[in-house]
């Protein structure tokens, strides 16, 4: 019996690092910690988590150990931030939502580090103009 698992492709800005994640994600979140803000250059970082066994690579990200046992992967050519891994839990890998070719199917299941969230990114403010 053949099971057709969905596949989700993505990669960096220049295309030197590409990946395919098979199956459904095991998590998704918006992280509001200061390290993710620095790494992404944004007020909040969005991630989608897959089992590492479900991921194939064409080109590999370079890892940076941002804190003990925590690794952030980026393209060695263009510098695009791609992944986050907890080294003690190598069975999972979090991908930056924006690194997917089509991020629309994914949904965040939680917000992390809300105690450090920037107020302007912690929710929808009705006083902020929304543009499409």
Q: Residue 84 belongs to a domain with what CATH number?
A: 2.170.150.70
Which two structure tokens, joined as six digits, stand for 102?
A: 């089509």
Mean pLDDT, rounded, for 57-74: 95
CB 59 within 8 A of CB 74: no
Structurally, the chain folds into a number of domains equal to 1
Tell me, what's the pLDDT at 109? Answer: 87
CB 92 within 8 A of CB 26: yes
Give pTM, 2 decimals.
0.87
Mean pLDDT, rounded, for 94-114: 92
Task: Map residue 96 onto helix, strand or coil.
Answer: strand
Tell me, what's the pLDDT at 129? Answer: 52
Tell me, what's the pLDDT at 121? Answer: 64
Q: To the nearest whole number, what is the mean pLDDT of the chain? A: 89
Residue 29 lies in a domain: yes
pLDDT tens digit string along 67-99?
Answer: 999 999 999 999 999 999 998 788 999 999 999
CB 83 within 8 A of CB 61: yes
Query: What percent of the chain clears pLDDT 90, i.e. is strictly above it?
Result: 67
Residue 112 lies in a domain: yes
Which residues 6+ apart lie within 8 Å of 112 measured at CB? 29, 30, 31, 32, 33
Strands (DSSP E) contained in the chain are 7-11, 18-22, 27-31, 45-51, 55-58, 62-67, 70-74, 81-86, 92-96, 110-112
Mean pLDDT, rounded, for 36-41: 91
Residue 87 lies in a domain: yes
Residue 24 lies in a domain: yes
- Which range among 41-50, 71-80, 117-126 shows the weakest confidence by mean pLDDT? 117-126
DSSP 120: G
Domain that holds residue 80: 7-101+108-117
Mean pLDDT, rounded, for 56-73: 95
């Amino acid at each position: 019996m053949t099971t057709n698992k969905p596949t989700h492709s993505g990669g960096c800005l220049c295309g030197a690092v590409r990946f395919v994640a098979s199956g459904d994600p095991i998590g998704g979140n918006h992280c509001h910690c200061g390290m993710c803000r620095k790494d992404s250059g944004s007020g909040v970082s969005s991630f989608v988590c897959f089992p590492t066994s479900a991921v194939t690579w064409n080109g590999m990200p370079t890892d940076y150990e941002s804190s003990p046992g925590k690794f952030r992967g980026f393209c060695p050519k263009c510098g695009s931030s791609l992944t986050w891994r907890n080294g003690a839990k190598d069975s999972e890998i979090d991908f930056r939502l924006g690194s997917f070719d089509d991020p629309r199917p994914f949904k965040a299941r939680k917000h992390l580090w809300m105690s450090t969230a920037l107020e302007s990114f912690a929710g929808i403010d009705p006083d902020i103009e929304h543009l499409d």
